[in-house]
Amino acid sequence: MAVMKRAHLEKLRLCDALERIADTLPRVDCLACLTVANAIVPLLRDIHRYEETMIFPAYEAASTGGDANLASTRRLRAEHVEDECFAGEGTEILLRIGHGERVENAEAIGFMLRGFFESLRRHIAFEREHVLPRIGVPDSG
Ligand SMILES: [Fe+2]
């Protein structure tokens, strides 16, 4: 279960990096953009696969009141798909500006990045507060 906590921490670090990039636009830290661009898709894919094969089945099995947990994991799985889609788009943008392409629409890019990391943070918060405690992983905040 330490794996899961580390995965969430890595994902939160990624959110922080995205927030720093969004905050400083239209100025660009090219190295930060390229680093995040390279990490984002494989990181999310690995974490999502782990959650969907190890964590969610345990959470579904721990359901006591009807299929509430099943409804939650269905939503979380759908969010994984959306997040991976966004991650793909985000990667393209970060690669372009990381390679020196001029930032024409800083506001739109900032808005898009912000929407992405805010939804990632909400997703992680739900898993930490509701999913992990139900399968015996205390919420460490
Ligand atoms: Fe998740």
Domain residue extents for the chain:
2-134
pTM: 0.91
- What's the CA-to-centroid distance between 127 and ligand 1, angstroms? 7
pLDDT 10s digits, 71-127? 999 999 999 999 999 999 999 999 999 999 999 999 999 999 999 999 999 999 999
Place of tokens 């943008």: 93
Amino acid at 46: D
Given a contact cutoff of 8 angstroms between Cβ atoms, the answer to whether 76 and 125 are in contact is: no
Residues 6+ apart with CB under 8 A from 3: 50
- Rounded Cα distance between 13 and 28, Å, is 18
**Rg of the chain, C-alpha, whole Å:** 16
- What's the CA-to-centroid distance between 81 and ligand 1, angstroms? 10
- What's the CA-to-centroid distance between 28 and ligand 1, angstroms? 29
- What's the CA-to-centroid distance between 131 and ligand 1, angstroms? 10
- What's the CA-to-centroid distance between 41 and ligand 1, angstroms? 14
Amino acid at 92: E
pLDDT band per the 50, 70, 90 thresholds, residue 137:
confident
- What's the CA-to-centroid distance between 27 and ligand 1, angstroms? 31
Any idea what the Cα angle at residue 139 is, between residues 134 and 111, rounded to 5°? 105
